[in-house]
Amino acid sequence: MSEPIRVLVTGAAGQIAYSLLLSIAKGDVFGKDQPIILLLLDITPMLPVLEGVVMELQDCSLPLLRDIVPTDKEEVAFKDLDVAILVGSMPRKEGMERKDLLKANVNIFKSQGAALDKYAKKTVKVLVVGNPANTNCLIAAKSAPSIPKENFSCLTRLDHNRARSQVAIRCGVPATQVTNVIIWGNHSSTQYPDVHHCKVNMSGSELACFDAVKDDAWLKGDFIATVQQRGAAVIKARKLSSAMSAAKAICDHMRDIWVGTPEGEFTSMGIYSTGNSYAVPEDLIYSFPVQIKDKTWKIVEGLAINDFSRSKMDATAAELIEERDTAVAFLGV
């Protein structure tokens, strides 16, 4: 057995964490022979609920789970971290403007970025889930200057999985037979689910997505809208936001960072845009197609971008620039 790794989950008493913690603790993410110390951070009023979560994790009697540390203190939660999964954020409440949401979250992620900078390992891998995820991730990264920017990413894997499954359902195949969808941009309703480079395995032969689906109008219309609006549709149906699917996407994202992406396949994640070859503006956390090896992502280069895709990619970039500038103004930096 190797040394335990220290994994933080924030918002640990919340519903996404409740769906997430068991998968992490039983080895689905970091491997079946990787012991884990779980650090669970939440706000002080949630500590009694968190205690119940700790009891349940103990009652699972898991061989890999070496210790569980519930806390409301950043100096405890962020100490010597190998992995930080930042789920907790201020949710949007009724009547709240997007700028109000940004202002509340800037303070949370500035503080957590500073805590990462002060207490965590410099090799820590940071995944931001709490919305607005891209901009929260950017603020955390800016607030942790001693940790490389490439160690920060935000979750667009849920959108990636949603896009993949919509194509699979349409073609009547398992989702594993749909590869190389791309989510470009923001984890918001401006994101662009792109299937121009997607492949579908139909009866043993690999087809381009447009040839497999045979409905260009759907792929350029309802498909995009369905993926963009899926989170809102889940809330409308469930009266709660996506939790099970978000937790699964977090596991997929972190496992790919840990063990790499399959040969020839790429995935989507929100990463630092500086130096990209797709004319996406600098200094954003923007979702790109990536391949991962040795815990290091590389943007998939050389994909042809048509005018339809370009306009969608630019629209989501414009939203991210506006979010960033609003958030940075609140920070006063």
Binding-site residue numbers for substrate are 92, 98, 131, 162
- Give the dihedral sign, CA 13/89/116/255: positive
Q: Are 186 and 319 in contact (CB under 8 A)?
A: yes
Q: How remote is the C-alpha of 68 from its chain's centroid?
A: 23
Binding-site residue numbers for NAD(+) are 42, 105, 129-131
Whole-angstrom Cα distance, residue 96 to residue 100? Answer: 6
Of 187, 196, 197, 253, the active-site residue reads: 187
243 in helix, strand or coil? coil
Whole-angstrom Cα distance, residue 237 to residue 333? Answer: 41
Decide if 196 is catalytic.
Answer: no
Q: How many CB atoms lie within 10 A of CB 304?
A: 7
C-alpha separations of 265 from 180, 203, 221, 254, 318 in Å: 6, 19, 25, 16, 28
Whole-angstrom Cα distance, residue 139 to residue 299? Answer: 22
Binding-site residue numbers are 42, 92, 98, 105, 129-131, 162
Q: Are 69 and 81 in contact (CB under 8 A)?
A: no
Whole-angstrom Cα distance, residue 201 to residue 221? Answer: 23
Output the DSSP codes for 11-42.
STTSHHHHHHHHHHHTTTTT-TT--EEEEEE-
Q: Which two tokens stand for residue 240?
A: 């709660």
Write out the catalytic residue numbers: 187
